[in-house]
Chain A
Amino acid sequence: MATDLNLQVEGIKDEYKYGFRDSETNYSFKSGKGLNREIVEQISEMKNEPNWMRELRLKALEVFWQKPLPQWGGELNELNFNDIHYYMKAADRQGKTWDDVPTEIKNTFDKLGIPEAERKFLAGVGAQYESEVVYHSLREDLQKKGVIFTDTDTALREHSDLLREYFAKVIPIHDNKFAALNSAVWSGGSFVYIPAGVKIDIPLQAYFRINAENMGQFERTLIIVEEGAQVHYVEGCTAPMYSTESLHSAVVEIVVKKGGRCRYTTIQNWANNIYNLVTKRAVAYEDALMEWVDGNLGSRLTMKYPAVYLMGEGARGEVLSIAFAGKGQHQDAGAKIVHGAPHTSSRVISKSISKNGGRASYRGLLKVAAGAHGSKSSVVCDALILDDKSRSDTYPYIEIDEDDVKIGHEASVSKIGEEQLFYLMSRGLSDAEASTLIVSGFIEPLVKELPMEYAVEMNKLIQLQMEGSVG
Chain B
Amino acid sequence: MTKLLEIKDLHVAIDGKEILKGVNLTMRSGEVHALMGPNGSGKSTLSYAIAGHPNYEVTSGEVLLDGQDILELEADERAKAGLFLAFQYPTSIPGVTVANFLRHAVTNVRNPGRKEGEDLVPMRDFRKELRAEMDELGMDPDFARRYLNEGFSGGEKKRAEVLQLAMLRPAFAILDETDSGLDIDAVRVVSEGVNKVAAKVGTGVLVITHYQRILTYIKPQFVHILYGGKIVEDGGPELVDTLEREGYDWVRAKYPNDAKAEDALSV
Contacts and interface: CB of A to CB of B under 8 A. Distances in A.
A463 B117 CA distance: 9
Contact of B79 (A418, A425, A432, A438): A425
Contact of B96 (A417, A437, A463): A437
B75 A426 contact: yes
Q: Which of A426, A431, A433 has most B Cβ within 10 Å?
A: A426
Nearest to B150: A441
B246 to A, nearest CB: 36
Interface stretch (B33-41, B62-70, B101-109, B183-191): B101-109
Contacts of B202: none
Contact of A428 (B76, B93, B96): B76
Contacts of B90: 423
Given A432-B116, A437-B104, A426 B109 contact: no
Q: A interface, by DSSP: helix, strand, loop or mixed?
A: helix
Interface in B42-101: 51-55, 74-76, 78-80, 84-85, 87, 90-91, 93-96, 100-101
B164 interface: yes
B79 A467 contact: no
A427 B85 CA distance: 9
Which of B90, B104, B147, B164 has most A Cβ within 10 Å? B104
A419 B91 contact: yes
A437 B108 CA distance: 14
Given A428-B168, A433-B104, A438-B96, A422 B117 contact: no
A429 to B, nearest CB: 6
A427 B91 contact: no
A87 B50 CA distance: 63
B116 A433 contact: yes
Nearest to B107: A428
Contact of A437 (B53, B101, B168): B101
B197 to A, nearest CB: 15
Contacts of B100: 437
Interface residues of B, number: 31
A445 B94 CA distance: 9
Contacts of B96: 437-438, 440-441, 444
B74 A425 contact: yes
A422 B55 CA distance: 10
B93 A441 contact: yes
Contacts of B80: 428
Contacts of A418: 54-55
A429 B105 contact: yes
Given A418-B54, A428-B79, A428-B109, 10 more contacts: A422-B53, A422-B54, A424-B104, A426-B85, A427-B109, A431-B76, A441-B147, A442-B94, A444-B96, A467-B117
24 contacts: A420-B91, A420-B93, A422-B51, A423-B87, A423-B90, A423-B93, A424-B101, A424-B104, A426-B78, A426-B79, A427-B76, A427-B101, A427-B104, A427-B108, A429-B105, A429-B108, A430-B74, A430-B76, A430-B116, A433-B116, A437-B96, A438-B93, A441-B94, A442-B95
